[in-house]
Amino acid sequence: MPNGWPGVNDGLDAMPNSWPDVNDGLDAILFDFDGVLVESVDIKSTVFCALFADWPDHRDAILSLHERHGGLSRLVKFDMIYRDILKVPLSDDRRADLARRFAGLVLEQVVACPMVAGAEAVLRALAPRLPLEVVSGTPEPELREIIARRGLTPYFHGIHGSPRGKAEIIGDRLARFGWRARRVVMVGDALTDHEAARAHGLPFVGRVPAGRASPFPPGTRLIGTLTELAPALASLYGTERAAS
């Protein structure tokens, strides 16, 4: 496989013969959504702080928990915040209200925020060649609405969000389609993505924006934007094929 795949590194659409080894090397690619395809991570961090503005003494701890558990369902984070930080009971009604307010504050912003550099070029180039799926911690109906309003739905073979966890989703897709774990790549920006991939033996590529600390173990293949995905996949494909 060449060191870079035409149509991705230069941000242009790939010609049909520009990806000669994709179908031979991979069964599918799974993408997290926030922070991997769209630049929405900071939006959600700001909203988390706004939701808990009545607890200013706990702001830093709440923000740290949210960022440390990136990719986890917001409902699970609400449970953790009330149990581990605020140390007060969280009623079902309060939990549902937090979820409604969170969705109302983030949806329009996530629909409008920029895509990660290179993301749409990658989707255009790869969608005709192999299955691409989204595996996210965002509630699935909300996720599908955001992706549809951004005009991205046709690129994806599947779109999956909470309440199912990422490891459960991945296991289901492997079983349903007979995809081989070593030939399915997960691209994520959070440790929860890495852990879900590792649970099933999937190769993993971590997205870490410039200036941010990596949450991933040493040796993880890292990219700063999706413009760097082609050489990362090329390198990973060669390693995985040699190991198989």
> Token pair of 216, please?
């991933």
- The mean pLDDT of 207-221, rounded to a whole number, is 94
At 148-172, the pLDDT tens digits run 999 999 999 999 999 999 999 999 9
Q: What is the pTM of this model?
A: 0.82
pLDDT at 132: 98
Q: Residue 241 pLDDT > 60, yes or no?
A: no
Helix or strand (DSSP H, E) at 103? helix 92-112
Average pLDDT, the chain: 86
**DSSP track, 130-179:** S-EEEEEEEEHHHHHHHHHHTT-GGG-SEEEEETS-HHHHHHHHHHHHT-
Percent of the chain with pLDDT over 90: 64
At 181-194, the pLDDT tens digits run 999 999 999 999 99
Angstrom distances, CA of residue 153 to CA of 105, 116, 140, 146, 166: 22, 17, 13, 9, 19
Whether residue 40 contacts residue 113, with contact meaning beta carbons closer than 8 Å, is answered with yes
Q: Taking the mean position of all CA atoms in its chain, how far away is CA 183?
A: 18
How far, in Å, CA of 102 to CA of 76, rounded?
Answer: 13
